[in-house]
Structure 1
Amino acid sequence: MARNIKHIKKKKLGNYPHLMVVFSISLALFVIGLFGLLLIHASKLSDKVKESIEMQVYLDKNLTDTQLTRLQKTFTAKDYVAQQNDTAQVRFISKEEGAKAFLDETGEDFMEFLGDNPLRDAYVLRIDADHSSSPELKSIKLDLESVNGVYEVQYVESLIESINSNIEKISVLLLAFAGILILVVIILINNTVKLALFSQRFLIRSMQLVGATSYFIQRPFLNRAALQGMISGVVASMLLFALMQYAYHEVEELKLLRNDEQTYLLMGALVLIGIVIGFLSSYRAVRKYLGLSLDELY
């Protein structure tokens, strides 16, 4: 019987719900991480869409091979041309290839009744995602048209404007939702820590009564909160990593949108967020209980 009474007293003064705190913070950080992954993949998808933008550069007729080579080198050196595996995304389409493609698509051979091929040799340039805004594309078009040997530059302007407009709207919505989500998660973690420390209020009061300084009382709680935040961040990161691997295994196309560098930065941020929020929440809660009278603790 005495043991039971001792156990109950110990629970009142010193019991702290470690697993509940770690689980709650881990779940909250996992939600943030999940949305962070969504933003990373959405950003990568946006870049992929933007990098699919192409400009058709039609050339003057009767250019020599030397002139064609010079033009290709000129286009390759442009900083607004997309790179893939350190290779500029520039390809040449001869007028014969253009005529064959037209025949394959329409089944009509205009060579039969025209007697000549009216098409022009062309270079197709894929534009880098960082230069895909409508004003920059117009500037790029003017720059290409100023090159000696270029007859005309074309791209689907209305489609590009529609893509940029939709991407901008989606980005604003995602960022707004991310801000709300982060605020909710911070409040959730803060309330979790405060609730956990509520069970420690009499222990804090007891330490005050025996003459312990505020720093001495706060230090173990703050250290524990930071440790729990770090553990929660690691757990959330491990769950995210496992979820990612499963998703990549089930949907192969998702691998095209992966960005390992940003993903690892996100995981590191989760650990840091867990430590900072846990530390600050614990600091505020302990400071609150240090300032309460005995009657207010009940």
Structure 2
Amino acid sequence: MSQFGKSSAKRSKPSYLYAIIGVSLILFLFGIVGWLFLNLKKSGEMFRENIQVHAYIQRSATKKQIDSLQKYIEAIPYVKNLEYITKEKATAKWNAENDTTWKKFLDNSPLPESMDFYVKSDYMNKDSIASLQSELEANFGGRVMSEFQYPTETVGYVSSYTKYIAAGILLFAIILSIIVIISIDNTIRLAMYSNRFLIKTMQMVGATRSFIARPLNVRAVINGLIASGIAILAVFCFILLVEKFVPWLKLLRDGRNMAIIITGIIIAGVTISYASTHRSVLKYLKMKLDDLY
């Protein structure tokens, strides 16, 4: 019987190796898809945060009033990168981007001064911008601010499609998670199949369920960690390779997103490996010996 146990243990080693490789590949795909979607989310945030808002200033506004408007906008929590555009800056910017023949006909620049700023991505939607516009017009409209301007059509598209994109990402993430769980579960069950006689033999000689399951569960956790480590390394190598050919993707690097990917891979690898192994052990313990053949 000891020889039977040894031969079973020997046969189980390749299965563990194949299981680790199989789980690593599945987790690698899981990590890549997660990285793509997190980058999509990040690029969407960057796009929204690069939509500029303009608060144009009345020509009759005094410096004190302008300073008051600037301080008020700067104090708004979701406003970022505020810049006071003087006539000189506005003229220089216009000359750099447009025709300068107006200088032949006008002595003074007709361009108004403005407060140009951006808002955080969560607030770049029609409702939030409209609320900000109403707030500024109520406090500074007419006296200091002549016009509040932003690309309404672009913001409208962002507001409309963000919900659909978020719903699509959530749905795909759920489907992907189900596929990952089923794939890893099947891989682990195939690995445990080669150990079914060993499990049953230990039960027949009087070993308790917990005694039989404990070393296999520990091994499952270790295998899950190894597979996760291989998958994480492969994901990092893939990202570096892609960034080498597409340099602008480096702008999307985010430590928080990478931490989410790493944590997700480890949790998925360890949890599913443990659960699948434990379930397989209980299954074979409940089966009759003849049913194992």
Structure 2 counterpart of 1:207, which letter?
M
Consecutive unaligned residues in structure 1, runs of 5 or more:
1-5, 83-88
Q: Deviations over 1:135-169 (max 9, x none)?
A: 11110111122233112201121111112323332
Q: Deviations over 1:95-128 (max 9, x none)?
A: 4544555565245418727x76544211112111
How many percent identity over aligned positions?
30
Paired residues for 1:180-219 under 5 Å: 180-219=175-214
Over 3 Å counting, the alpha-carbon distance change for 1:100 and 1:276 in structure 2 is closer
- Aligned position for 1:15: 11
Find 1:90's aligned residue among 82, 90, 95: 82
Aligned-partner SS, 2:146: strand
Q: Given the alignment of the two structures, is residue 248 of structure 1 paired with residue 246 of structure 2, yes or no?
A: no
Q: Given the alignment of the two structures, is residue 151 of structure 1 paired with residue 140 of structure 2, yes or no?
A: no
Q: Which runs of 4+ in 1 moved over 4 A?
A: 6-10, 99-104, 115-118
The answer on whether the counterparts of 2:19 and 2:188 sit within 8 Å (CA) in structure 1 is: yes
Q: Deviations over 1:150-207 (max 9, x none)?
A: 1220112111111232333233222222211111111011011111111111111111
Aligned equivalents of 1:124, 1:229: Cα separation in 2 = 51
Q: Tell me by how many angstroms 1:7 deviates.
A: 8.6
Structure 1 counterpart of 2:281, which letter?
V
Find 2:22's aligned residue among 16, 21, 24: 24
- Aligned position for 2:255: 260
Q: Given the alignment of the two structures, is residue 72 of structure 1 paired with residue 70 of structure 2, yes or no?
A: yes
Q: Tell me by how many angstroms 1:76 deviates.
A: 1.3
Find 1:120's aligned residue among 112, 121, 145: 112
Aligned equivalents of 1:258, 1:101: Cα separation in 2 = 31
The answer on whether the counterparts of 2:189 and 2:276 sit within 8 Å (CA) in structure 1 is: yes
CA RMSD of aligned residues (A): 2.3
Aligned equivalents of 1:130, 1:163: Cα separation in 2 = 11
Over 3 Å counting, the alpha-carbon distance change for 1:63 and 1:13 in structure 2 is closer
Aligned equivalents of 2:162, 2:122: Cα separation in 1 = 13
Aligned equivalents of 1:226, 1:12: Cα separation in 2 = 21
Q: Given the alignment of the two structures, is residue 226 of structure 1 paired with residue 224 of structure 2, yes or no?
A: no
Tell me whether 102-111 or 141-150 shows the greater mean CA deviation.
102-111
Q: Given the alignment of the two structures, is residue 288 of structure 1 paired with residue 283 of structure 2, yes or no?
A: yes
Taking structure 2 as the reference length, the TM-score comes to 0.89
Taking structure 1 as the reference length, the TM-score comes to 0.88
Structure 2 counterpart of 1:145, which letter?
E
Q: Tell me by how many angstroms 1:80 deviates.
A: 2.2
Tell me whether 181-190 or 167-176 shows the greater mean CA deviation.
167-176
Consecutive unaligned residues in structure 2, runs of 5 or more:
none
Length, aligned pairs only:
286
- Aligned position for 1:270: 265
Structure 2 counterpart of 1:40, which letter?
L
Aligned-partner SS, 1:109: helix
Structure 1 counterpart of 2:59, which letter?
K
Find 1:42's aligned residue among 40, 43, 49: 40
Structure 2 counterpart of 1:255, which letter?
K
The answer on whether the counterparts of 1:51 and 1:126 sit within 8 Å (CA) in structure 2 is: yes
Q: Given the alignment of the two structures, is residue 135 of structure 1 paired with residue 133 of structure 2, yes or no?
A: no
Structure 2 counterpart of 1:62, which letter?
S
Structure 1 counterpart of 2:220, which letter?
A
Aligned equivalents of 2:189, 2:17: Cα separation in 1 = 15
Q: Deviations over 1:14-65 (max 9, x none)?
A: 5211210110111111111111111221111011011012211011223233
Aligned equivalents of 1:14, 1:216: Cα separation in 2 = 20
Aligned equivalents of 2:274, 2:152: Cα separation in 1 = 52
Over 3 Å counting, the alpha-carbon distance change for 1:7 and 1:121 in structure 2 is same
Q: Tell me by how many angstroms 1:245 deviates.
A: 2.2
Find 1:52's aligned residue among 35, 50, 53: 50
Tell me whether 221-230 or 11-20 shows the greater mean CA deviation.
11-20
